[in-house]
């Protein structure tokens, strides 16, 4: 009798454990970090788990390079995560899950994420996810260096040439090694190129990378590398389309002006703090415009998930206005939620430099050129970006003439688009 009682208790416990294990749904979210957003997301996921104890979400934090290079292969092989944070928004759209049947209120999503949903699904009207951040490219300057050199910062409407003259003067006066630095990224170059008149597409909407506007920008960048305005250390020291940022050099006050974007705000808040006045300034002007490039990262649901219903529940939870307000507020990211963008975010910072940078980049959004939006929404935009930086780099270090580089850019774009079209 005693043995039977023990057996019964053991089998009941086993059944209970097995039952709870069977009810638990495991979701995996691939994530990369620019700053502290991983920590913030983890705390939001902890909140989600309390509200939905039957769904367990594992946050897999990986290097950004892995999101760019390995994730597409995982997705093609059907071995991707359930949810991922991506920046190649339209390029991976074939792998996304349409959340429309799985979210409670599709209208809420359309109202608040509407313009960005088409970045994720350029050819349809699917709901695939939401923007974890909107970004705008633009420069930061070390205002303290300007003050120490006794040189005035160029004002509104200043051109790239005005800035080049000013930063060279500051660098010369204070013996700063790098007057100006741009991230080694095609996306970063695209804004100034459009400002110089680059159209990026022909009249039929087909990609047309090389035109007079792009040539003007390329010549400018080439000349700056030859005359020392920009150091070849960043653009010249690696090959191909490798991304390199000058954020560490800027944080170490080795750079007077740094062309990057709004996503650097949280990082500069923590790494630079009040060591010097890091100051965001509006995008300098070219011959045609004064524009940066829009962009951002999105949290998307992956089509191969075995748990679309649970993914829908999680995405609904994370996309709530109050949850996103906390996320954007703590991460200092420009909101990709229209309701929050208009009502305003209570950013968790009392740093005046961060507050100024946030308002500068937010104010830049209405000045972004339609061409920049078109380029950002083009699914194969990285083909253009990569051809641009890799060939321009070869010209900068003297392996190609600029004219040869332009010809190679066009060939690279044509070859890659032809390959993807097979």
Partner 1 sequence: MARVYDKPQTTGEALTHVAATPVRVLFRLLDYPMSAIQRLLGIGGMPWLFLLPNLVFFGMFVVIPLFLNFAYSLTGGTALFLSDRPFVEGEQYGFLFDCENYADPLSCREDRFWKGIFNTAIFIFFQVSFMVLFSLITALVLNREIRGRGFWRAVFFFPVLLSPVVVALIWKWILLRDGILNAFLVSIGLERILFFVSPDWAMFWAVFVSIWAHMGFYMLILLAGLQAIQPDLYEAAEMDGTSKERVFFRITLPLLWPNMLVVIVLALIKGVQVFDEVYVLTGGGPGTATQFIVQYIYNTAFTNQVQNFGLASAASMVLGGVLFVLTLTQLAATRRRDNA
Q: Using CB under 8 A as the criterion, which residues of the chain lie in contact with partner 1 when the complex forms?
A: 68-70, 72-73, 76-77, 88, 91, 177, 231-233, 236-242, 244, 380, 382-383, 386, 393-394, 396-400, 404, 408, 411, 416-417, 419-420, 422
**Which of residues 68 and 362 has its CB atom nearest to partner 1 in the complex?**
68
**Whose Cβ is closer to partner 1: residue 3's or residue 79's?**
79
Judged on CB neighbours under 10 Å (0-12, 13-18, 19+), 226 is exposed
Complex with partner 1: residue 52 or 232, whichever CB lies closer = 232
Cβ proximity to partner 1, 207 vs 282, nearer residue: 207
Nearer to partner 1, 350 or 419 (CB): 419
Residue of 420, 396, 395, 391 whose CA lies nearest to 408: 391
Which of 147/233 has CB closer to partner 1? 233
Q: Rounded to the nearest whole angstrom, what is the least distance from the CB of residue 2 to partner 1 in the complex? A: 39
User: Cα separation of 109 and 101, whole Å?
Assistant: 12
Q: How many residues does the chain have?
A: 422
The distance of closest approach from Cβ of residue 311 to partner 1 in the complex, given in angstroms and rounded to an integer, is 23
Closest to partner 1 by CB, 298 or 383? 383
Distance between CA atoms of residues 107 and 114, nearest Å: 9
Least Å distance, CB 210 to partner 1, is 17
Contact between residue 141 and residue 348 where contact means Cβ atoms under 8 Å apart: no
**Minimum distance, C-beta of residue 54 to partner 1, in the bound complex (Å):** 34
Tokens representing residue 220 in the block: 């400018």
Tell me the closest approach of the beta carbon of residue 383 to partner 1, in angstroms: 5
CA distance 160 to 363: 19
Measured from the CB atom, the residue of 153 and 244 that comes closer to partner 1 is 244
CB of 381 to partner 1, least distance (A): 8
Show Cβ contacts of residue 99 under 8 Å, excluding neighbours closer than 6 positions: 109, 126, 127, 128, 129, 301, 311, 312, 315
Helix extents (H) in 95-236: 106-120, 143-149, 160-174, 186-195, 212-227, 232-235
Distance, in Å, from the CA atom of 67 to the CA atom of 130, rounded to the nearest integer, reads 17
**Smallest distance from partner 1 to CB 26, Å:** 25
Q: Tell me the C-alpha distance between 277 and 68, whole Å.
A: 33
> Cα(239)–Cα(241) distance, rounded to whole angstroms?
7
Q: Looking at residue 252, what DSSP letter applies?
A: T
Of 243 and 317, the one with the shorter C-beta distance to partner 1 is 243
Cβ nearer to partner 1, comparing 239 with 270: 239
Torsion angle of alpha carbons 82, 87, 92, 93, nearest 10°?
80
- Write down the least CB distance from residue 90 to partner 1, Å: 11
Spatial CA neighbour of 319 closest among 75, 150, 63, 104: 104
Q: Which residue has the tokens 């003067």?
A: 169
State the nearest-atom distance from the C-beta of 66 to partner 1, in Å.
Answer: 11
> At its nearest, how many Å lie between partner 1 and the CB of residue 207?
12
DSSP 329-373: HHHTPBP--HHHHHH----S---HHHHHHHHHHHHHGGG--HHHH
């Amino acid at each position: 009798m005693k043995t039977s009682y023990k057996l019964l208790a053991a089998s009941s416990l086993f059944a209970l454990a097995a039952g709870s294990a069977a009810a638990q749904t495991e979701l995996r979210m691939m994530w990369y970090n620019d700053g502290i957003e991983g920590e913030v997301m983890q705390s939001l996921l902890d909140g989600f788990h309390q509200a939905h104890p039957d769904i367990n979400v594992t946050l897999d934090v990986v290097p950004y390079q892995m999101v760019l290079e390995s994730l597409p292969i995982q997705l093609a092989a059907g071995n991707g995560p359930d949810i991922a944070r991506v920046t190649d928004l339209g390029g991976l759209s074939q792998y996304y899950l349409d959340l429309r049947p799985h979210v409670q209120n599709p209208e809420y999503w359309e109202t608040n994420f509407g313009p960005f949903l088409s970045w994720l699904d350029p050819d349809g009207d699917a709901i695939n996810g939401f923007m974890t951040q909107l970004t705008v490219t633009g420069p930061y300057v070390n205002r303290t260096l300007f003050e120490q050199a006794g040189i005035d910062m160029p004002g509104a409407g200043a051109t790239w040439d005005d800035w080049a003259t000013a930063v060279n003067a500051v660098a010369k006066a204070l013996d700063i090694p790098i007057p100006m630095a741009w991230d080694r990224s095609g996306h970063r170059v695209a804004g100034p190129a459009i400002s110089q008149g680059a159209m990026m597409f022909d009249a039929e909407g087909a990609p047309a990378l090389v035109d007079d506007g792009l040539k003007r920008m390329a010549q400018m960048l080439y000349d700056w590398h030859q005359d020392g305005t920009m150091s070849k250390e960043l653009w010249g020291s690696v090959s191909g389309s490798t991304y390199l940022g000058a954020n560490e050099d800027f944080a170490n006050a080795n750079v007077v002006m740094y062309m990057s974007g709004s996503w650097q705000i949280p990082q500069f808040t923590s790494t630079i703090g009040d060591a010097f006045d890091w100051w965001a300034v509006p995008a300098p002007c070219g011959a045609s415009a004064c524009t940066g490039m829009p962009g951002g990262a999105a949290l998307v649901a992956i089509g191969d998930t075995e748990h679309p219903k649970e993914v829908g529940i999680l995405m609904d939870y994370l996309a709530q206005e109050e949850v996103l307000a906390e996320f954007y507020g703590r991460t200092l990211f420009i909101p990709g939620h229209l309701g929050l963008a208009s009502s305003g975010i209570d950013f968790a910072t009392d740093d005046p430099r961060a507050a100024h940078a946030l308002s500068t980049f937010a104010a830049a959004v209405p000045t972004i050129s339609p061409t920049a939006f078109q380029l950002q929404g083009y699914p194969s935009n990285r083909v253009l970006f990569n051809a641009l930086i890799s060939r321009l780099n070869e010209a900068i270090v003297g392996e190609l003439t600029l004219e040869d580089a332009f010809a190679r850019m066009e060939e690279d774009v044509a070859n890659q688009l032809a390959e993807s079209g097979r």
